[in-house]
Amino acid sequence: MEEYLPLINEKGEVIGKELRSVCHGGSFLLHPVVHLHVFNSKGELYLQKRSANKKLLPLKWDTAVGGHVDYGETIMEALLRETREELGIVGAEIHPMFTYPFRSQTEYEMVNAFYTIYDGVITPDKDEIAEGRFFTIEELNNLLTSPDLTPNFKQEFPKVLEALPFLMS
């Protein structure tokens, strides 16, 4: 059964709902998503390589956790659910960073970005993720022009560095 996503205004207030396929089908209806950037204590950032069976951007490196907020779910509920489902992480201390609108060729999302520092076990969901690993900040800066990263990650990574200046020290 296809899921419903909440439709929101630019303030993040829910103003309706629509099927996921409609939201992703070029309607550009604004809907919320969550991103979690997972750092280890060495300051390296974990990325996931999207599964080959993903409709959008298969086998591209992307934010550690990314997912849609289901209709009736809070931002934090969605973030905790996606973190558990995608990486098997439960109980990590999560911190908010920023929120911004992102428009791709097919959809319009309000990205709610968070971070955690986590050195525990990561168990990627094999249906969602082809592989995952930690990258140094230098490696990621060198990859920003690569076609191997998703456009959304390329746009978001500088915002992460700006929000977390301690990573550059």
Residue 20 pLDDT exceeds 90: yes
Residue 144 pLDDT exceeds 80: yes
CB–CB of 64/132 below 8 Å? yes
Q: Residue 156: what residue type?
A: E
Q: How large is the average pLDDT for residues 53-73?
A: 94
pLDDT at position 118, please? 97
Distance CA 101, CA 111 (A): 6
Q: pLDDT digit string (tens) for 80-116?
A: 999 999 999 999 999 999 999 999 888 899 999 999 9
CB–CB of 129/52 below 8 Å? no
pLDDT at position 166, please? 74
Distance CA 139, CA 131 (A): 17
Distance CA 161, CA 168 (A): 7
111 Cβ contact partners less than 8 Å away, ≥ 6 residues apart: 33, 34, 35, 99, 100, 101, 102, 152, 156
What share of the chain in percent tops pLDDT 70? 98
Band of the pLDDT at 61, cuts 50, 70, 90? very high
User: Considering the entire predicted model, what is its pTM?
Assistant: 0.94
Residue 23 pLDDT exceeds 90: yes
Band of the pLDDT at 169, cuts 50, 70, 90? low
Residue 78 pLDDT exceeds 80: yes
pLDDT at position 168, please? 63
Band of the pLDDT at 52, cuts 50, 70, 90? very high
